[in-house]
Chains A and B, each alone.
Chain A
Amino acid sequence: MEKNIDKTSYDALVIGAGIAGGEAALNLANTGYKVLLVDKELSVGGKMIMLSKVFPTLDCSACITTPKVSEISRHSNITIFTGAQASNIRKIGEKEFTARINKQPRYVHIEDCTSCQLCEEACPVSVSDQYQYGLIGRKAAFIPFSICSPKAAAIDIENCTLCGACERACPTNCIDFTMEPEIIDIKVKTVVLATGFKLFDPLDIPRYGYGKFKNVITAMQMEREIAPTRPFNTILRPKDGKVPDKIAYVLCVGSRDASVGNPICSQICCMYSIKQAQLLMGALPMADVTIYYINIRSFGKGFEEFYQQAKGMGVNFVKGKIGRITEKENGNLILRYEDINSGKLQEEEHDMVILSTGVLPNEGISELFEGDTLGLDKFNFIGQSDALAGPSRTSIDGVFVAGTASGPMDIPDSILSAGSASSEAISYLIQHS
Chain B
Amino acid sequence: MEVEKGKTAKYLREKLGGVPEQAKHNLKEFNSIKKLMLEALKEEDLTVIQLSEKLNMPTDKVFYYLMSLVKYGFVKTGDIDDMDEYYTYKLNE
Contacts and interface: CB of A to CB of B under 8 A. Distances in A.
Interface of A: 121, 124-127, 135-140, 158-164, 166-168, 170, 173, 175-178, 214, 231-233, 236, 238-243, 245, 286, 331
Nearest to A157: B12
The 8 closest A-B pairs by CB, nearest first: A137-B68, A164-B9, A241-B48, A177-B12, A177-B8, A240-B59, A214-B60, A162-B13
Contacts of B52: 240
B11 A240 contact: no
Nearest to A240: B59
23 contacts: A124-B27, A125-B23, A125-B26, A127-B26, A136-B68, A137-B72, A158-B20, A158-B22, A161-B24, A161-B27, A162-B16, A167-B7, A170-B6, A178-B12, A231-B67, A233-B70, A233-B77, A240-B49, A240-B60, A240-B63, A241-B63, A241-B86, A243-B80
B8 A167 contact: yes
A238 B64 contact: yes
Contacts of A240: 48-49, 52, 59-60, 63, 86
Interface in B22-48: 22-24, 26-27, 30-31, 34, 47-48
Interface of B: 3, 5-13, 16, 19-20, 22-24, 26-27, 30-31, 34, 47-49, 52, 59-60, 63-68, 70-73, 77, 80, 84-87
Q: Say what secondary structure dominates the interface of chain A.
A: loop
A162 B9 contact: yes
A367 B54 CA distance: 53
Interface hub of A135, A164, A331 (most chain B Cβ within 10 A): A164
A373 to B, nearest CB: 39
B12 A162 contact: yes
Given A137-B68, A164-B9, A167-B8, 13 more contacts: A125-B23, A160-B23, A162-B10, A167-B6, A170-B6, A176-B5, A177-B9, A239-B59, A241-B59, A241-B66, A242-B86, A243-B86, A286-B84
B69 to A, nearest CB: 9
Contacts of A239: 59-60, 63
